[in-house]
Amino acid sequence: MGVTIDLNAIRENKRRIEALGRPVFAVVKNNAYNLGMEPVVTTLYAEGVRHFMVTTLDEGSEVRVHAPEANVLVMNPVYEWSAVHRDGLDVAIGSYDWLVSQRHELDGVRLHLKLDVGMNRFGAKTFEEALAILAFCQDEKLNLVGLCTHFPLADADNAEIEHSVHVERFADWSTRLIERHSFEVVHAANSAATLQADPRLGHCTHVRVGIFLYGYSSVEAVDWLVPAFHWETEVVAVHDIEAGAHVGYGTGYTAPSKERIAVLSVGYGDGLMRARRHLSVHINGRAFPFVSNIFMSHSFLRVDETVQIGDRVELYGNETKIDDVTRTGHANNSEQLCARSWRVPHRFEGGILCTQATNPFA
Ligand SMILES: *Cc1c(COP(=O)(O)O)cnc(C)c1O
């Protein structure tokens, strides 16, 4: 009961992604998409992953503890340097001005030149700016090891042409930069872009994936991904109600006829997003719909006479996966993973440190 995080699934997804052709640069920001930094990083590191990406310095320091020999890239612009020097973190160059302003901290630091091809977040916005960054690094003998971008539209199903323009821009700028400098790593594709296997990204050394590692696709369903996140709860009460009766707060749901309602002791306060109610849950292999809203700590199902107090309810698992809910259009994958509260009892399966019955990460 509660949440199970299947580290074997993450291990398997890593292998299957790499079978497409490139090693994984693992994105483990936000506590590894809220699945747990230590178990996820430990698992991937044991599988041979040697590049990790996070957004903040604190996350970088945390990864360093569990992946002593790996390269750990911090994507946010850095202005506070003690953790970088202490933990040997890689840093992304956000702009030419940033580079010049931080020059006094950069000796020996492993730097990645980031190209902004359309997101307007961080990175060189023009080829000229990228060239100026490269020249500055070369003149100052800085340790420029990486070249990268992040595609804003790889997951968008209505913007293929615009995405293609971004890929073209990256391909053009990056091939010309590679002629002038030898980069140890070149990384661009997130999960969705990995699937596209665009030949214009043929010079990339790694795929920088997050959500695929955890078993979910933000675009079309990918049948070879193994979901790593399972959430079960149980029926805590059942009620046989008359036609016209309301359920839960407000009058949002009124029973059209006599019905049996099951109460679950889980709600949005536990991170069960209201978006989840658009698909049924499964009890003993049978589907039952939510009724009323999902409330802070409870939710309601319309069930039949077979359902009893104590029955197990699959909220997320093999019957309904995170990305099935995503495809209803009411929430995205990472959002559902990040929503889940650690208040919910949880355990890890398949960890190298796990003995069968115990969870060393609890
Ligand atoms: C989050 C993130 C990724 C991973 O994206 P997914 O769609 O989860 O694979 C890659 N690169 C950057 C810069 C990111 O912020």
pLDDT tens per residue across span 40-52: 999 999 999 999 9
Residue 353: which pLDDT band, with cuts at 50, 70 and 90?
Answer: low
CATH number at residue 303: 2.40.37.10
338 domain residue, yes or no? no
- The answer to whether residues 39 and 68 belong to one domain is yes
- The answer to whether residues 21 and 75 belong to one domain is yes
Q: Which of 185, 214, 243 is the last residue of a domain?
A: 214
283 domain residue, yes or no? yes
224 domain residue, yes or no? no
- The answer to whether residues 148 and 277 belong to one domain is no
Q: Which of 183, 214, 245 is the last residue of a domain?
A: 214
Q: Which of 10, 74, 91, 190 to mutate to test the pocket of ligand 1 (most atoms within 8 A of CB)?
A: 190
- The answer to whether residues 24 and 137 belong to one domain is yes
- The answer to whether residues 101 and 27 belong to one domain is yes
Percentage above 90 pLDDT, the chain = 87
Output the residue whose Cα is nearest ligand 1's atom 12: 150
Pocket of ligand 1 (CB under 6 A): 27, 29, 75, 150, 190-192, 208-212, 218
Percentage above 70 pLDDT, the chain = 97
Ligand 1 atom closest to Cα of residue 155 = 7
Counting the structural domains of the chain, the total is 2
Q: Which of 30, 40, 53 to mutate to test the pocket of ligand 1 (most atoms within 8 A of CB)?
A: 53
Poorest-pLDDT segment among 16-20, 262-266, 357-361: 357-361
Residue 352: which pLDDT band, with cuts at 50, 70 and 90?
Answer: low
Residue 356: which pLDDT band, with cuts at 50, 70 and 90?
Answer: very low
Q: Which of 27, 170, 187, 214 to mutate to test the pocket of ligand 1 (most atoms within 8 A of CB)?
A: 27
- State the CB neighbour count (10 A cutoff) for residue 273: 18
332 domain residue, yes or no? no
- The answer to whether residues 207 and 234 belong to one domain is no
CATH number at residue 107: 3.20.20.10
Poorest-pLDDT segment among 69-78, 115-124, 225-234: 115-124
- The answer to whether residues 190 and 252 belong to one domain is no
- The answer to whether residues 234 and 209 belong to one domain is no
Predicted TM-score (pTM) of this structure: 0.94
Rounded to the nearest whole angstrom, what is the distance from the C-alpha of residue 54 to the centroid of ligand 1?
9
Q: Is the pLDDT of residue 163 over 60?
A: yes
- The answer to whether residues 157 and 293 belong to one domain is no
Rounded to the nearest whole angstrom, what is the distance from the C-alpha of residue 68 to the centroid of ligand 1?
22
- The answer to whether residues 138 and 240 belong to one domain is no
Distances in Å between the Cα of 5 and the Cα atoms of 31, 46, 102 are: 13, 17, 40
d(CA 301, CA 236): 11
Q: Is the pLDDT of residue 357 over 50?
A: no
Name the residue range of residue 86's domain. Answer: 7-214
334 domain residue, yes or no? no
Residue 358: per-residue pLDDT: 40
Q: Which of 156, 187, 214 is the last residue of a domain?
A: 214
- Strands 346-349 and 2-6 turn out to be parallel
The pLDDT of 181-196, averaged and rounded, is 94
- The answer to whether residues 39 and 185 belong to one domain is yes
346 domain residue, yes or no? no
**Token pair 């903040």 in the structure block, residue:** 56
- The answer to whether residues 162 and 281 belong to one domain is no
Output the CA angle 252-303-296, nearest 5 degrees.
45
340 domain residue, yes or no? no
Ligand 1 atom closest to Cα of residue 208 = 10
Instruction: Tell me the pLDDT tens digit for each residue of 191-205.
Output: 989 988 899 999 999
Residue 156: which pLDDT band, with cuts at 50, 70 and 90?
Answer: confident
Q: Is the pLDDT of residue 3 over 60?
A: yes
103 domain residue, yes or no? yes
